Structure 1
């Protein structure tokens, strides 16, 4: 979830203290707070330039090239301009017809990148 800076602390507190979601242990002091959300992970990213929260989703594809081709054949355009991804990161951006952003990636890609760079 992308959260405006002016709502960030209250939003993190909402998930941590009010809803009591289990927080996933951060790797470092500057890591984005993450919470267990059923069988999903809720990421809370502070975004100074936003005026309201945005929901971004992650889609896991076993074969990133096949996923890219399938989405292209269905008329879904890649949106790589949305946010730069690290060099070598096996992922790309798309958006739904109602403009929900999706990161299409491979299983374990975020975990692997985090182990390599310390960034999640």
Structure 2
């Protein structure tokens, strides 16, 4: 977290229990603390008024097994290279 704040110079946009969101242009870069992570992953979050229609347009598989989306109107998918995408309402 300190690297992006102190070295890169990004502004903290929001802090949660295990996550920090940094202002990254018009986007937010979220860094999550994961206790037992064996590799680094980049997951992207896309916003849509209609997540189901967006998934159809993107043509990706639905990836519900990744993580529960409690209280979030959205769904998980991935791009052809395997990068995880969360498509949800803002």
TM-score (norm 1): 0.66
Q: Greater share of strand residues, 1 or 2?
A: 2
What's the C-alpha RMSD, in Å, of the aligned pairs? 1.8
Shift of 1:95: 1.1
Deviations 1:21-69 (A, max 9, x none): 111243x6x2521111111101110112212211000111122232244
Q: Greater share of helix residues, 1 or 2?
A: 1
| Structure 1 unaligned spans of 5+ | 1-11, 109-120
Aligned residues: 90
1:105 matched residue in structure 2: 88
Quick check: which has more Rg, 1 or 2?
A: 1
SS at match of 1:33: strand
Whole-Å Cα distance in 1 between the matches of residues 2 and 34 of structure 2? 16
2:54 matched residue in structure 1: 67
